[in-house]
Chains A and B, each alone.
Chain A
């Protein structure tokens, strides 16, 4: 195994906890992160689906957008210049999934946006956070103070037992619905809590001051229903949930329509809407909405047991022909005990049940376009 240069890697406030829990540490997005703990990816995955898992996602970026005018609508309108979502309509205490788009209609990053009353709270991907912050500063500085909340950790508590576990430390937690978000005390610590996650399970994401992060994580892990979960299971859980991984399933070359994320673009920003367009790449993205895109992200289920992984080329036939698309995420789904994948195919081959082939080690393995999520989500709506 190659030793990585740990000196150049950043550490989250929970780094020493990961090491003490036996986490196998690997470099990820510039951070030294646990890919798994002694339980292993399979058990960690299944435990999250049946009980609860605690994830350290402190490598992600947390940013506050504070309106200089003091009016939250001004921050919302400003942010709408960079994303195709209706930000103005996010009610106080609610959160919405969004994408930063580029002039070509591609996706620079995907993010969560919450309305905290006097400011917007953004959570962005680790690998993109510096670029996202620069993008916000370059475009929104006239209207907003862009406040990088680097002194906060972020943990996710996910799974069917998450509500009962968090309720012991946060009495408001059970009343929260999917995508509710706001400041709450957890065990007396001033946190930002949202009812959301990246697993398809009910659960919470908790932004906590870095200095209190380890204490909070240990309190949650003290519950026998809660296991620490590494990045390996985080990836297999989100894949089964049909959720995109930035840089793989979506990137600067994919529009939200191609990525099958139309549900995330509200009618008010589409053609004929009250605030149609006005975001980078609007011409291309709205053309995709109005006239259709030529390719589409779809779920794929293999007939056999061999995992079909990222990069595998897709073909329409069992032999010959040019590739018609590519797998962008794929692996073994522990809850299904079967391979699952997603990838891009021509719209003409995107209907559910369409038979395709993936080339794996020189062989064409049969698979079919399948509905996502692969595992039914259990969000508390």
Chain B
């Protein structure tokens, strides 16, 4: 059973046990436009909440993706290196960015559920 949470910076997290899968929201990919490059963190890197963790670039500009919570990167989505456009076609599915081992579950409390995120982007 997974729960999906959202940040005000337009990242999503799917929580499954002590692991969170992180990506950017469909709203974010629409704002960015055509994604041409994604830079992912190295597996094993220890991220602090709100730290720049990944970069997503459109034809026009580069944008940081922030770590929504603290923890160690345990897996990254190598498919994005070969096919950055996945971010446009399936932002909240196949185009996940990285998986993180949740360091402090209390940080999840500050995140939004789907209804709150919808209101945030309305």
In Å, the complex CA distance between A339 and B39 comes to 14
**Can you give 7 A-B contacts (C-beta < 8 A)?**
A1-B31, A40-B34, A232-B59, A305-B84, A306-B39, A332-B57, A339-B37
In whole angstroms, how far apart are the Cα atoms of A43 and B59 in the complex? 11
Question: Given the complex of chains A and B, what is the CA–CA distance between A361 and B55 in angstroms?
Answer: 10
User: Interface SS of chain A: helix, strand, loop or mixed?
Assistant: mixed
Contact of B59 among A41, A305, A306, A361 (CB under 8 A): A41
A322 CB to closest chain B CB, in angstroms? 25
Q: Mark A302-322, 1 if CB is under 8 A from B, else 0.
A: 000111010000000000000
Interface status of B116 (Cβ within 8 A of chain A): no
Given contacts A305-B81, A332-B57, A361-B39, contact A40 B33 (CB under 8 A): yes
Closest to B55 in A: A361
Interface string of A113-148 (1 = CB under 8 A from B): 000000000000000000000000000000000000
**Complex interface: chain A residues within 8 A of B60 (CB):** 35, 41, 232, 235, 331
A45 vs B36: C-alpha distance when bound (angstroms): 14
Q: How far is the CA of A321 from the CA of B34 in the complex (A)?
A: 36
Considering only CB atoms and an 8 Å cut-off, how many residues of chain A contact the other chain?
21
Nearest residue (CB) in A for B61 is: A309
Tell me if B62 is interfacial: C-beta within 8 Å of chain A: yes
Residue of B nearest to A236 (CB): B59
Q: Which of A255-297 contact B (CB under 8 A)?
A: none
- What is the CB-to-nearest-CB distance from B28 to chain A, in angstroms, rounded to a whole number? 11
Which residues on A are within 8 Å of B, measured CB to CB? 1, 35-36, 40-43, 45, 232-233, 235-236, 305-307, 309, 331-332, 334, 339, 361
CA distance A235 to B33 in the complex (A): 15
Contact partner of A36 (CB less than 8 A), chosen from B33, B55, B81, is B33
Q: Is the CB of B59 within 8 A of A332?
A: yes
Besides A40-B33, A41-B58, A235-B60, 7 more A-B contacts (Cβ < 8 Å) are A42-B34, A232-B33, A307-B57, A307-B62, A332-B57, A332-B59, A339-B37
1/0 per residue B23-58: CB within 8 Å of A?
000000001011011010000000000000001011
Contacts known (A36-B33, A41-B33, A307-B36); A331 close to B81, Cβ less than 8 A: no
Q: Which of B36, B37, B57 gathers most chain A CB within 10 Å?
A: B36
Query: Which B residues are CB-close (under 8 A) to A233?
Result: 59
Hey, which chain B residues are within 8 Å of A35, CB to CB? 60
Nearest residue, chain B, Cβ from A235: B60
B35 vs chain A, min Cβ distance (A): 9
**A332–B33 touching, CB < 8 Å:** no
Query: Looking across the interface, which residue of chain A has its beta carbon closest to that of B64?
Result: A361
Bound together, the chains give a CA A125 to CA B31 distance in angstroms of 28
Query: Distance (Å) between the CB of B9 and the closest chain A CB?
Result: 12
